[in-house]
Amino acid sequence: MKHISSMTRPGNQPQKLAALKQAWQEWNNSPDVLIRLARRLATTLSLEDQLGVLAEEMADIVPFEAMMYRHTIARQEFVFRTGMGGPHRAEYRLNLEGELYGYLELHRRTRFSEEELEAIEVFIGAAICPIRNACRFIALEQMALTDTLTGVPNRRALDEDLGRICHLADRHNESHSLILVDLDHFKAVNDTHGHLIGDQVLRMSADGLTRTLRNSDRVYRFGGEEFAVLLPHTDAPHAREAAERIRLALASLALDRLVGAPLRITASCGVATHLAGEGPEQWLARADEALYRAKQAGRNQTRVFPAIG
């Protein structure tokens, strides 16, 4: 068998190395708008940053007054908007290899010419691969932060959001509340009806929680049969009201059809509103203490820590 040494070099290697160096210099210094666009897009996997670059480069060739991009990624709505709109619009579906990667709209007061529309399509063609990669990156990140059983964010996502919310609450002197929700005697559901039914109950509970809350609120699978709910811009009295709505909504879930017999769950809720200077661990610990008090008092009720009148 003939082996080729990895040290073997073609005779024209110096010329190839020189050509490579020249191509690299041209790539970095080229005034060509598409090369510059590709170079800038290649530096980030942030979809927001990529769309900002696309808007900036495109506006130099095709003036517009507003650009909007929208896409649903891993069940989360992503929207990017810049500028103020006008009555005339150019709208595009961003498709690549049979997959949809969002919708792009450009708006301005005057009609787009055919040449301008063709130029927009050229820009989109140059940007679609980086945009696809950024969408896939977001989807992968969301998978790592999503509970596979219920489809809601997981404990890791909660930890990240608690840290962010603590910072915002202190910075802007805003009220944010946290609710811990525990399904009462859930072990009995698994023991009596099996884990497959238990899993269905957890999914329906997550859906019921989500439907009960505002769009700005967020539900998390905290672990086992326990959920967490973050309520932005919500003080303790209103958080307690939200917890009561959650408790009543879970008690009214139509679970009988899962087993063909009466099946009902109740929930205990612990509420804590963020205190100035408080870290995520302390905030979470107070909500957990409130939940413990609700369970100790007989379950199927809400407690707030510290207590409010």
Residues annotated as catalytic (active site), given as ranges: 225
For residue 275, the one-letter residue type is L
* Secondary structure of 161-210 in HEC code, one letter for each residue: HHHHHHHHHHHHCCCCEEEEEEECCHHHHHHHHCHHHHHHHHHHHHHHHH
The span from the first CA to the last CA of the chain, in angstroms, equals 87
Residue with token string 């439907």? 211
CB 47 within 8 A of CB 138: yes
**Rounded (to 5) percent helix, strand, coil in the chain:** 50, 20, 30
Cβ atoms within 10 Å, residue 295:
16
CB 38 within 8 A of CB 27: no
CB 223 within 8 A of CB 152: no
Q: Which helix (H) or strand (E) holds 230?
A: strand 226-231
306: closest CA among 240, 226, 241, 222? 240
